[in-house]
Amino acid sequence: MVENVVNLEQLVKDINSEVITWRRHLHENPELSFQEIETSKFVYEILESFGAYELSRPTKTSVMARLIGSQPGKVVALRADMDALPIQEETGLPFSSKKSGVMHACGHDGHTAMLLGAAKVLSTLKDQIKGEVRLFFQHAEELIPGGAQEMVKAGVTEGADTVIGLHLSSQAPIGRFNIIYGSAMAAWDSFDVIIEGKGGHASRPQDTIDPVAIAVQAINGINQFISRKVNPAQRAVISITKIQGSDAHNIIPDSVSFGGSVRTFDPKLRKQIPKWIEQYVKGLTEANECSYKIDYQYGYSAVINDEKVTSVVEQTLIQEFGEEHCKRGEPLMGSEDFSAFSNEVPGCFVFLGAGSENREENYPHHHPKFMIREEALELGVKFYVKTALSYINSKE
């Protein structure tokens, strides 16, 4: 076994200060989805300094690194996302974002730094690895259609046997790994509806076709789909998140727009919901002698963790961190474009706690005060290294 040749525990500890430095640099210099020019350059140059990887740029702002072992074997891919969000940071950290209105508010800076740390550790093992470790530094996880899809189209998963991803969680205490078998994260779709009526003065509603009243009926009806059309045993969510009408108190507008998101796991239900929305809106507008437009966009598909790969990952976590730190979790209604990779090859997506034991100190993801505890970074590096080696050496 590779572990008998070198002390991996010590290697991980030795580079921890570098990982923290990388993370802080990335946090100070965030870049939005599809704009990760300097981030991908930073990652490429660090990987190049290790001298062990075959490097490529599958897309303009992504990086792939291949560590090809001395003998043939399995190919395991490890993934980290790199993009930030359009949020003004309010953490007060000494290494807060230098860019106004842009912030790493989802932990992607930590993901990238951890995978760079794993890359450095693994680079010392090249001559002892049977197979290949492939690293995906992915752009644009936060914005549909997502960077993972572009990387897959560029061929990064060709020849891979599995792909493994890790996400830091500010809502769970440091050291807690959450592993989910099967359905892990929901598919995410979005929609926009425009109700086109006839505007006029608020004092004479009889002269109008009020799109506000019709939109309210539409929203109320759509909000009942899950409770009245979907089997309670199925997991699904429809959330109306925006509505826009007149800007004045005394004007009934010509049109009202509203929209929201849909989260599902079942592919048949995913296809059925837009039909229900259109059927319902069409009936309402016809009954009220007005018209409508609907723009329904399919986003990321559900993340489904492969049972065999997940079993290898779980056993590795129990062995390395202890059963008390490895918890089986329930499917999450959030979404991730990691699914683009795991739709191509069997995969496993895991969560690692990076928050305080005091939950009141933990702000949610995509919050201006979102923070991760840097003590989690060393655990993430170890996770990437150990799971890669375990899979390569497994019988699966």
Catalytic residues: 83, 141
Residue 34: both structure tokens together:
């599809």
What is d(CA 110, CA 147) in angstroms, rounded to the nearest whole number? 18
Burial 172-184 (b: 16+ CB within 10 A, else e): bbbbbbbbbbebb
- Which DSSP symbol is given to 157? T
Q: Could you tell me the sign of the dihedral formed by the alpha carbons of 184, 112, 41, 27, in that order? A: positive
Give the β-pairing of 177-179 and 326-328.
parallel
Nearest to 352 by CA among 64, 114, 17: 114
Give strand ranges (E) for the chain.
Answer: 54-56, 63-68, 71-81, 130-138, 162-173, 177-179, 182-185, 187-196, 200-201, 236-244, 251-252, 255-264, 291-298, 303-305, 326-328, 347-355
Considering Cα of 40, then 83, then 335, then 305, what sign does the dihedral take? positive
Amino acid at 343: N
